[in-house]
Structures are given as structure tokens and as C-alpha cells.
Structure 1
């Protein structure tokens, strides 16, 4: 079963957004990425403030589970976004829920 790995917020001024959400939630910047915030107890989803659109990142335990979850999500009404410009080596698949919201399924936790 998938779980929420990150909530990705749209942010034209990601630094300002990250400062606000860090203060609001008590999160801290990730040591390797200032635009990703980590919950104080390490439990719960990351918060990323950089995206072009607000969306969820869903995690799986690896490529096989990722493909199984994509098939399951498609069976309940989601669809892959057909022409997404993936970077080389992408570890995610961009999907759309039945009402048009984007989300990603990652091949890792």
C-alpha cells in the first residue's frame, strides 16, 4: 500500500514559503535540500516547497510495488499523465486522479 511521502507545495518564492511552513509546523530544512522540510520527530511526510503545482508524492517500497500500485490506482480511476517530461533516471510516475489532481508514485520510501 502506498503512503504519503511528501506534500509538495507550489512556491514561486520557495525560500519565503519554506521559512513560513518551517515556523508554522516546527519542521526543519533537510540537510541536503533547503526547499524540503523534515518533521521534527522524523515521522510523517516531508514538505517540499518548490513545485509547479501542489501535489502529493506517494511512496512504495521499490519498482515492483510501484508498478503494482500504479495498476491498482488506475483500476480505481487514476490515469498516467501521458506526455510528462521526465528527467533522465526518474524514479516516479506522474498520475492524475479522477478529478484532475496530479500526484506522483515513487519507487522508494
Structure 2
């Protein structure tokens, strides 16, 4: 039976990526499938896989078709998390596709991979 696995991020510096994503999302590296070119990050209590990191030589895409959205519940939490992530090594990137009054902030991880911090309190209702 086919089932969804985990999102995988291509990185050029594995130790730096492990440190950033572990601290950013309270994840823990595991030895499962570990190699020089792969690291699985699990939920901190080791209850589930959360993210894969894979060495990659391909360039970062400026506007990737697939990216991570990290959720928060208020503008204050969004601002605090953006600052925390910047302190961990994320960077603000110029994003030319912001809508008017966006509910998200676009950052890049230390490898330059874009991701969003989304304030769910400001997201459109469905």
C-alpha cells in the first residue's frame, strides 16, 4: 500500500542543516537510514519521523514548487518565531510574490532553501 513518507530537504552542509532543523522544529537526528548523505530527523520523543535531509549538489530554486510551511497561531508568535529562526541561521529573502497583507513570511534555511512561517489566525477561511 502506498503511503506518504516524509518531506526531504536537499542540503550542502549536513551538520549545519541537522543543527538548524533540529533546533528550529525541536527534532532529533536518528541513526535510521543514516549515511554520509542522509539524516532522518524524528519528533523529539522519537514517536515519528518528521524530516529527511539529503546531500544535494543541485542549486537552490528561487521559487520552489514544493516548500515547507511552518504554522503559528498569532502575529506575535509569528514575529517571535521569525526572530528565533533568524537567530538559528535562517535569512530573510526578497520575495516578489507576496500578496497584499500576507499571512506568511518567507525565510531561507542556512542552505538557502525557502520556507514560510504562516500565521494561521490571518489565513483565509475555507
TM-score, with structure 2 as normaliser: 0.44
Where in structure 2 are the equivalents of 1:6-21 lying within 5 Å? none
Residue in structure 1 matched with residue 108 of structure 2 by the alignment: 96
1:53 and 2:71 aligned: no
The structure with higher relative contact order (CA 8 Å, sep 6+) is: 1
Where in structure 2 are the equivalents of 1:21-36 lying within 5 Å? 24-25=2-3
Counterparts of 2:2 and 2:107, CA distance in 1: 29
1:52 deviation in Å? 4.3
Residue in structure 1 matched with residue 74 of structure 2 by the alignment: 62
1:80 and 2:95 aligned: no
What is the aligned length? 63
Residue in structure 1 matched with residue 22 of structure 2 by the alignment: none
Structure having the higher Rg: 2
Q: Tell me, what secondary structure is at the counterpart of 1:58?
A: strand
Runs of 4+ in 1 over 3 A off after TM superposition: 23-26
Counterparts of 2:95 and 2:64, CA distance in 1: 16
TM-score, with structure 1 as normaliser: 0.50
119, 122, 125: which one aligns with 1:107 = 119
